[in-house]
Structure 1
Amino acid sequence: MNIHFDQQHIWHPYTSSTHPLPCYPVVGASGVHIELEDGTQLVDGMSSWWSTIHGYNHPTLNAAAKKQIDAFSHVMFGGLTHEPAISLCQSLINITPQGLERVFLADSGSVAVEVAMKLAIQYWACQGSENKCKFIAPRNGYHGDTLNAMSVCDPVNGMHSLFKNVLPQQIFAPSPQTKFGALWNDDEMLALDELLQQHHHEVAAVILEPIVQGAGGMRFYHPNYLKRCRQLCDQYNVLLITDEIATGLGRTGKLFACEHADISPDILCLGKALTGGYMSLAATLCTEDVAMGVCQGEPGVFMHGPTFMGNPLACAVANASLSLLESGEWQHQVLRIESELKQGLQACAELSCVDDVRVLGAIGVVQTKTAFDVATLQKQFVSKGVWVRPFGKLVYVMPPFIAQTEQINQLTTAIFETLQRFSN
């Protein structure tokens, strides 16, 4: 494998072209393991950025892909439809929070967020409120790397400060402060209440990641914050968008993180795990009220249509992935993983370099007091037979749901032993 060419000519995510991070050559993946070119087997603690919930090379997903590709791999979705898309949308309406009745199939999580924001703006414009075109977002949020999505990411820590002069200027609320499982204090909502009171006439929607703020800090917050957001949005006549791209489909211990607060949004975004990590597919769901409101008056249609919208191959694999979830086994898997992560990462809390340890569902996070060099940490993890990709002060794992006790222990032991080397 020509790694030199890769370093000289290929951009990888969040990597410098002058000092690129090392890339490890992969030749195979099966179950929870990634196989490197030299034969090294790594337990994948990242689920390939939170998507391969059923593991790699899964026979059910493989069979669905092979069957569909023999029929047809793609047709345009404009003026045509097909069974994989219809079945998928039926399933999504059935399993998502109540009231979400319309589905827009996109091709990535960032696009799903763009679609959600456009829906909210067009909804209010068609109601005669064109001035309602801003968004309120909690700080420490992350929603993707396209322009509108960047505008609702944390303006300081969201990796997008270089673009502040071209991004739409949004309104930011304080980030949720009460931790998941802690004692709730409703005074926390005073700031958001005040912002909505002042700006509801120009705000189309509040957009947030329910329960877990992902790439903005891997923060777990109290379900009452989400519940009160829903109430405040109703009170001030503002839509609520929940970005479940990272949290949806079981990762937090509920099928959707909204279920922790027993709420339903006006618009919901899905991606990542939708196809079990096999290929890119995303969905934006909305209520019937939003769907009908968007199409009142001019132009009478929703003006968005990705070329690969409703790709049959992706939809077929997504249907197979959802069928695996429907068995309910994921609930027992995630509950076990949560218990094992809590037990395995507990020792990290005693290390001098560690600030906090937290676990929710199949998410384990060790927050350090200072940021470490990613390449150095990653080399240590690879030497211990695990794939863990830290960022900033966060060393975290989101393993596939099929990971067994031995593999979870290997991940947590590798994290403890690696961070122990950096402790006094």
Structure 2
Amino acid sequence: MTISDSEFDRQHIWHPYTSMLNPLPAYKVESAKGCTLTLENGEQVVDGMSSWWAVIHGYRNSRLDAAAHNQIDKMSHVMFGGITHQPAIDLAKRLIDLTPAALERVFIADSGSVSVEVAIKMALQFWLAQERPEKHRLLTIKGGYHGDTFKAMSVCDPVNGMHHLFNKAINTQIFADAPTLTPDDEWTEDAGQQLKLWFEQFHTELAAVILEPIVQGAGGMRFYHPEYLKLIRKLCNDYDVLLIADEIATGFGRTGKLFACEHADITPDILCVGKALTGGYMTLAATLTTKKVAETIGQGPGGGALMHGPTFMGNPLACAVAAESLAIIAENNWQQQVTGIEAQLEKELLPLGNYKSVKHARVLGAIGVLEMQQPINVGSAQKRFIELGAWIRPFGRLLYIMPPYVITKDELSRLTHAMKDYIESVEKLLS
């Protein structure tokens, strides 16, 4: 008996974070343009998620389309071992131009999780090259998320994260309490006291601190005070520990700064970027570091080679699109776009924090979050959002949007009105 494509999908295709016994509905998208997804049945929905925060320039962007077409006519892929090509060179130049001046060595990876793995390897090899193998552990803050590969999982929140099932199989790292002060709070010197104690106690075995600057993304959409990040940079300097900034979610303008580290005016020793790097066109990431880190590793064992080399590293097609995406970023229109989104979210989303069912409402840059008192039924919530012409995918107790920068005011209002509709439906159940 022939089954429909949707039923085949449900029975055979494993979607992310979904059980094969009782999978969440998967809505079939036929096409996408700008900020709109067109579904199989012809319905159109405004994308509030930027396809997991990556499609900042919108779908079918003419410049990114052209970059992809031009490159595929030349070559879609060649191995990066012993070979280089112009798209990789162009991309690395743009990354070096956009990121802090000290970051001038670029490893082009193939996904965000892999860029984190590479960053950790850089940190470990940096100390091995100096014959200090005792510096092999990582310190991070609770509530973080850094990817789904094993070393990345080891620095995700060990209790409330998505990887607790694997706790016995991953390395034990050092977790400081998550920051409690938000960017709107007044900084107090005792806020970082525990962190200072962790450094005093563990610095001799710490290779690096890894964290998401200012915004903890998939771990809970929390915003924290920039002074906390400044303190971490100072402690890393004082105790001879590397600092890894995971800007995969926050990089390229999402928080209102080109990179979230700029909120604290600090430069990490190692920087991870991904997601929006290609404007969401295809998978690509990069790990940048300083001349000091790179050259120290180069003097180490094994001929000084960084021990990582993905098959699709430096993929020319992805690099060409990424270089053009960064060219768009370099024109600085994103600043006005993100500022406009932030102002509209503050006006339309923050008042929803007054509802009883909402624990907290918060906005930073092009990020709007409603933290609910109770977990959200994702399946029923998404069904209602589709009916309202919005694509919003909640998780846990978080109802949030991170729209493309090119979204119009009317499109953004459709998203915020859909969120308000959901809140009001929850309120009716409570009354």
Instruction: Tell me if TM exceeds 0.5.
Output: yes
Q: For the residues of structure 2 that align with 1:75 and 1:393, how far apart are their CA atoms?
A: 44
Q: For the residues of structure 1 that align with 2:343 and 2:117, how far apart are their CA atoms?
A: 36
Q: Determine which of 395, 398, 401 is the counterpart of 2:399.
A: 395
Question: Which residue number corresponds to residue 411 of structure 2?
Answer: 407
Q: For the residues of structure 1 that align with 2:164 and 2:258, how far apart are their CA atoms?
A: 33
Alignment of 1:25-174 (within 5 A): 25-174=28-177
1:358 and 2:367 aligned: no
Q: Which secondary structure state, in structure 2, belongs to the residue aligned with residue 165 of structure 1? A: helix
Q: Which secondary structure state, in structure 1, belongs to the residue aligned with residue 323 of structure 2? A: helix
Letter in 2 for 1:341: L
Tell me the alpha carbon deviations over residues 205-229 of structure 1, each in whole angstroms, 9 at most, x when there is no partner.
Answer: 0000000000011001111111110
**1:264 Cα deviation from its structure 2 partner:** 0.2
Letter in 2 for 1:100: L
Q: Which secondary structure state, in structure 2, belongs to the residue aligned with residue 164 of structure 1? A: helix
Q: Determine which of 260, 274, 286 is the counterpart of 2:277.
A: 274
Q: Which secondary structure state, in structure 1, belongs to the residue aligned with residue 168 of structure 2? A: coil
Q: For the residues of structure 1 that align with 2:13 and 2:344, how far apart are their CA atoms?
A: 38
Q: Is the Cα–Cα contact under 8 Å of residues 139 and 154 in structure 1 kept in the other structure?
A: yes
Letter in 2 for 1:101: E
Tell me the alpha carbon deviations over residues 370-389 of structure 1, each in whole angstroms, 9 at most, x when there is no partner.
Answer: 10210011111111000000
Q: Is the Cα–Cα contact under 8 Å of residues 43 and 386 in structure 1 kept in the other structure?
A: yes
Q: Is the Cα–Cα contact under 8 Å of residues 98 and 330 in structure 2 kept in the other structure?
A: no
Letter in 2 for 1:9: H
Q: Is the Cα–Cα contact under 8 Å of residues 97 and 258 in structure 1 kept in the other structure?
A: no
Tell me the alpha carbon deviations over residues 122-163 of structure 1, each in whole angstroms, 9 at most, x when there is no partner.
Answer: 100111110111000000000000000000000001111111
Letter in 1 for 2:347: Q
Alignment of 1:142-221 (within 5 A): 142-221=145-224
Q: For the residues of structure 2 that align with 1:61 and 1:7, how far apart are their CA atoms?
A: 32
**1:310 Cα deviation from its structure 2 partner:** 0.4
Q: Is the Cα–Cα contact under 8 Å of residues 97 and 259 in structure 1 kept in the other structure?
A: no
Q: Determine which of 258, 264, 267 is the counterpart of 1:264.
A: 267
Question: Which residue number corresponds to residue 296 of structure 1?
Answer: 299
Q: Is the Cα–Cα contact under 8 Å of residues 105 and 309 in structure 1 kept in the other structure?
A: yes
Q: For the residues of structure 1 that align with 2:179 and 2:297, how far apart are their CA atoms?
A: 31
Question: Which residue number corresponds to residue 5 of structure 1?
Answer: 8
**1:297 Cα deviation from its structure 2 partner:** 2.9
Letter in 2 for 1:143: H
**1:293 Cα deviation from its structure 2 partner:** 1.0
Letter in 1 for 2:9: D
Q: For the residues of structure 2 that align with 1:61 and 1:43, how far apart are their CA atoms?
A: 20
Q: Which secondary structure state, in structure 1, belongs to the residue aligned with residue 311 of structure 2? A: coil
Moved over 6 A (4+): none
**1:352 Cα deviation from its structure 2 partner:** 1.5
Compute the RMSD of aligned alpha carbons: 0.7
**1:402 Cα deviation from its structure 2 partner:** 0.2
1:244 and 2:247 aligned: yes
Question: Which residue number corresponds to residue 312 of structure 2?
Answer: 308
Q: Is the Cα–Cα contact under 8 Å of residues 137 and 173 in structure 1 kept in the other structure?
A: yes
Equivalent residues, number:
424
Q: For the residues of structure 1 that align with 2:38 and 2:263, how far apart are their CA atoms?
A: 37
Q: For the residues of structure 2 that align with 1:151 and 1:262, how far apart are their CA atoms?
A: 28
Q: Is the Cα–Cα contact under 8 Å of residues 125 and 300 in structure 2 kept in the other structure?
A: no
Tell me the alpha carbon deviations over residues 265-295 of structure 1, each in whole angstroms, 9 at most, x when there is no partner.
Answer: 0000000000000000000000111101112
Q: For the residues of structure 2 that align with 1:3 and 1:192, how far apart are their CA atoms?
A: 50
**1:63 Cα deviation from its structure 2 partner:** 0.2
Question: Which residue number corresponds to residue 341 of structure 2?
Answer: 337
Q: Determine which of 348, 351, 361 is the counterpart of 1:347.
A: 351
Instruction: Give identity over the alignment, percent.
Output: 56
Tell me the alpha carbon deviations over residues 102-131 of structure 1, each in whole angstroms, 9 at most, x when there is no partner.
Answer: 000000000000000011001001111101
